[in-house]
């Protein structure tokens, strides 16, 4: 049996989660901030992702360019990422060097420099990253679908932001965002590995307890109003193939309907680990979309997805059309698979297989200490770290009727945004 998670809140409001895991002489330190594109306003899209980049650009204590050398010299790896609901950084190190991870994160939580020259050079880096995405037909379609599906909520904006906003962003905009959201009262520290929990907690307190709490946080974004009619978007540009993407407005991960929707997703295209870093190989050939679209020759690939999110997001289906196949036929085939489940539900044998696959994916997703900490932090940023322990029970409790019910309730025409990418010539 694995060790329990110890939770401790520092006086400045920062939550510390510790889990002893003695499987290897390594430890991992993660810091999670409850900030992502969800917390951005028009004109400042992409600010969270850009701030994430700036925290790799030096403090008075660790000058720009020194961070990689410092971590590598101590035998570790590190990284960071931004998503719609959170930003995270981690260092995984030999267990006797984990103090370095705490030192790096407590330092850059308050001392990141945001030097004008680094802001300018990072603007160029991020705009070229944006241009890289901007050459992908899947990106054009995905952005068009999200923009149509959300009329008020910031989930409509791409995490990387819009070019016009990136060109206009100032150092003051970035620094203001950093000082608002990158504070102990909006942060979770997760430590997993080969350590004594009491000693590690003392180390965490020494690193973070004296930092100022931070200002009160801005209000949550406006809720997305329930859609009243289907929305459709068509993107016509040069590209190698036609694509179809369908998004249904679905509840966030705190809803009791999240687990049935996750099982529904697995029945359509295979089980996933439901975490940012993924798990084992997707088992999609035994799921419904593969035989219905790929084996019939309609599509080169077909997929579905539901991501754990704080607010209602999208349950999505999509496919890449085989050469010469009309996207309308792809759309009809995707909708037909949804309709079958709405009318007939799923068989108990299919439910049992899907649950087993989900169990395996969640287990694969938590094999390393790095991924165990990632799971704890992600769920705490979205809801509660306890979901790591309850998720398998939630999935096991889902009945075939639950799957049918959520398909009938959420995967309806009025909640649907349909996007088609039509290539205008050979890429």
Residues 211-233: pLDDT tens digits? 999 999 999 999 999 999 999 99
Q: Note the pLDDT of residue 281.
A: 45
| 6-15, 130-139, 245-254, 416-425: the lowest-pLDDT one | 130-139
Whether the Cβ atoms of residue 267 and residue 403 lie closer than 8 Å to each other: yes
pLDDT one-digit tens code per residue, 309-331: 999 999 999 999 999 999 999 99
Residue 201 has pLDDT above 90, yes or no: yes
| The predicted structure's pLDDT at residue 283 | 52
Cα–Cα distance measured from residue 28 to residue 367, given in angstroms and rounded to the nearest whole number: 13
Average pLDDT over residues 341-346: 98
- 63's CB contacts (< 8 A; 6+ apart) are none
Phi, psi (rounded to 5 degrees) for 13: 95, -5
Put simply, whether the predicted model's pTM sits higher than 0.85 gets the answer: yes
Q: Cα separation of 359 and 342, whole Å?
A: 24
Query: In the predicted model, what is the mean pLDDT of the chain?
Result: 95
Domains and their CATH numbers in the chain:
6-208 (3.30.830.10), 231-423 (3.30.830.10)
Question: What are 348's two structure tokens?
Answer: 């108990």
d(CA 54, CA 242): 37
pLDDT on residue 1: 57
Mean pLDDT, residues 144-154 taken together: 97
| pLDDT tops 90 at residue 252 | yes
**Nearest one of 154, 155, 161, 158 to 126, comparing CA atoms:** 161
Six token digits for residue 30: 């993660």
192 neighbors 92 (Cβ within 8 angstroms): no
- In the numeric block, which tokens belong to residue 304? 């579905």
Question: How does residue 280 score in pLDDT terms, banded at 50, 70 and 90?
Answer: very low
């Amino acid at each position: 049996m694995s060790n329990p998670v110890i939770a401790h809140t520092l006086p400045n409001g920062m939550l510390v989660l510790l889990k002893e895991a003695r499987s290897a002489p390594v430890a991992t330190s993660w810091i999670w901030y409850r900030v992502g594109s969800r917390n951005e306003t028009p004109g400042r899209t992409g600010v969270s992702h850009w701030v994430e980049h700036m925290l790799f650009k030096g403090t008075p204590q660790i000058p720009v360019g020194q961070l990689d050398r410092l971590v590598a010299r101590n035998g570790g790896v590190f990284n960071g990422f931004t998503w719609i609901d959170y930003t995270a950084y981690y260092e995984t190190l030999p267990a006797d060097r984990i103090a370095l991870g705490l030192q790096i994160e407590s330092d850059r939580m308050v001392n990141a420099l945001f030097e004008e020259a680094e802001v300018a050079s990072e603007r160029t880096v991020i705009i070229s990253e944006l241009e890289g995405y901007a050459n992908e037909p899947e990106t054009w379609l995905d952005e068009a679908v999200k923009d149509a599906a959300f009329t008020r909520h910031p989930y409509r904006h791409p995490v990387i932001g819009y070019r016009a906003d990136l060109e206009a962003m100032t150092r003051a905009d970035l620094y203001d965002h950093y000082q608002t959201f990158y504070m102990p009262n909006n942060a979770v520290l997760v430590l997993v590995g080969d350590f004594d929990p009491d000693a590690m907690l003392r180390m965490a307190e020494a690193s973070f307890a004296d930092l100022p709490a931070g200002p009160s946080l801005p209000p949550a974004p406006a809720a997305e109003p329930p859609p009243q009619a289907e929305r459709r978007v068509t993107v016509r540009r040069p590209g190698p193939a036609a694509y179809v993407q369908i998004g249904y407005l679905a509840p966030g991960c705190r809803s009791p309907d999240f687990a049935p929707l996750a099982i529904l997703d697995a029945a359509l295209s295979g089980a996933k680990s439901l975490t940012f870093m993924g798990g084992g190989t997707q088992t999609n050939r035994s799921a419904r979309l593969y035989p219905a679209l790929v084996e019939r020759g309609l599509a080169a690939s077909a997929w579905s997805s539901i991501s754990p999110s704080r607010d209602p997001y999208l349950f999505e289906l999509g496919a890449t059309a085989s050469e010469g196949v009309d996207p309308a036929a792809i759309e009809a085939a995707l909708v037909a698979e949804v309709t079958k489940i709405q009318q007939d539900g799923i068989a108990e044998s299919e439910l049992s297989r899907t649950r087993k696959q989900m169990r395996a994916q969640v287990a694969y997703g938590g094999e390393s200490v790095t991924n165990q900490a990632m799971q704890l932090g992600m769920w705490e940023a979205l809801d509660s770290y306890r979901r790591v322990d309850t998720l398998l029970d939630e999935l096991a409790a889902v009945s075939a009727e639950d799957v049918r019910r959520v398909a009938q309730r959420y995967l309806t025409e009025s909640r649907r945004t349909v996007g088609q990418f039509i290539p205008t010539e050979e890429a």
